[in-house]
Amino acid sequence: MRNVNHIPLDLMQTFIKIVEFDGDASAAARALDISQPTISKRLTALKLIVGTEEGRPWLILKGKRWLLTPAGERVRGVVADLVRQYEKVEQFIGEGQNAKATLAIACGQTAASGFVREAVEQLLIESPDVTVRIASPRGRSRIEGVAGGQFDMAVVTDNESMIREVAGIELYVEPLNIDRFVIVGNPPAKAWWSKAWDALPVRRALTAKEIAEFPLILPEPDASRRQQFDQWFSQSNNKSPNVVLEVGGWLSLLQFVQVGIGVGFATQQAVAAFEAMRPTRASTKPSMVVRALDEKDFPPDQVRLIARKPQGRDKPDFGTSAQRLLELIRLTSGH
């Protein structure tokens, strides 16, 4: 099998641009400001460099479109990062020493509205010459993004073996805090379930049977925490939960809980972030009531920060701005 020693930058730019335009080589050529014959020559050269054997090409032509192969999918993030880094170098040279540093961090909605937001705010106050991008893809995409270079760092709740499996490389992993699961409610006075909610025990964790009849607001069916909830509930009650609403994102879910639609399943950090965002006007409805879940049923999430690391060293591969952001995240997350 041939070794790939060098891939010219223009071929990597062509590869990324074709992927961005869903395999449309003509659109990619226009974006690159090159002719159709030129982009065809580049694609041929790229195929020869990475290999023509089965499983080697990054793109294959199907009809009039170039499709990403599994091999192309594996290298897509790394190549995109190389192109992005080169463009940053060009920008820095063009703008001189006044060029802004750019940081990209991926996390969930809760962190983006909570401790990550606080850390980023403080960083931008201290360093107004830094630009920060916060993205909120799902956990697996955050890991892939860090491994592939789209993100400088990410906040995840996956365990270390899953992080290693998804990334395909050894990443820097640092525990930040623990996030526990809870049941949350704010029933209207006239709701049929209001008295039953008030009668729930407050000095111990709730059981699945105790919430069996309540109208529930839960994450979407394909969410891992929803699947865990359904399994716990069915094992205890031998039936499905009384779901009145399914919604993605803890903060979106809590908005419906706040107006009294039903009882929600969420995390302590999500509730804290939501409450911190509420206005303080006298007309605002009272805070939601939180009931604990048994940690044996729902083990707390270990919240972790991940980043790339230098070869052979267990430390994040960070510049000054990224290192300062990590220090602030440690403070705001209660690390």
Q: Which two tokens stand for residue 310?
A: 């230098």
Per-residue pLDDT, 249: 85
Tell me which residues of the chain have a pLDDT lower than 70.
Answer: 1-5, 52, 54-55, 88-101, 279-286, 335
The answer to whether 324 and 218 have CB atoms below 8 angstroms apart is: no
Per-residue pLDDT, 91: 60
Residues of the chain with CATH 3.40.190.10: 100-178+302-332, 181-299
Architecture label for domain 100-178+302-332: 3-Layer(aba) Sandwich (3.40)
- Classify 108 as helix, strand or coil: coil
For 151-174, give one letter per residue: b (16+ CB within 10 A) or e: bbbbbbbbeeeebbebbeeebbbb
Per-residue pLDDT, 23: 87
Q: What is the DSSP string of 52-104?
A: SSTT--SEEEETTEEEEPHHHHHHHHHHHHHHHHHHHHHHHHHHGGGPPEEEE
Per-residue pLDDT, 99: 55
Architecture label for domain 181-299: 3-Layer(aba) Sandwich (3.40)
Q: Report pTM.
A: 0.65
Per-residue pLDDT, 335: 60
Per-residue pLDDT, 281: 45
Per-residue pLDDT, 284: 52
CATH (one of 3.40.50.720, 1.20.58.100, 1.10.10.10, 2.160.10.10) for 9-74? 1.10.10.10
Per-residue pLDDT, 114: 87
Cα separation, 293 vs 300, in Å, equals 10
151: nearest Cα among 12, 311, 13, 306: 306
> How many C-beta atoms surround the C-beta of residue 313 within 10 A?
9
Q: Which two tokens stand for residue 163?
A: 């992080």
Per-residue pLDDT, 166: 87
Computed over every residue of the chain, the mean pLDDT equals 86
Residues of the chain with CATH 1.10.10.10: 9-74
Angle at 301 between CA 197 and CA 141, to 5 degrees: 115
Q: Which helix (H) or strand (E) holds 111?
A: helix 109-113
Give the model confidence (pLDDT) of 8-28 as tens digits. Answer: 889 998 998 888 888 889 988
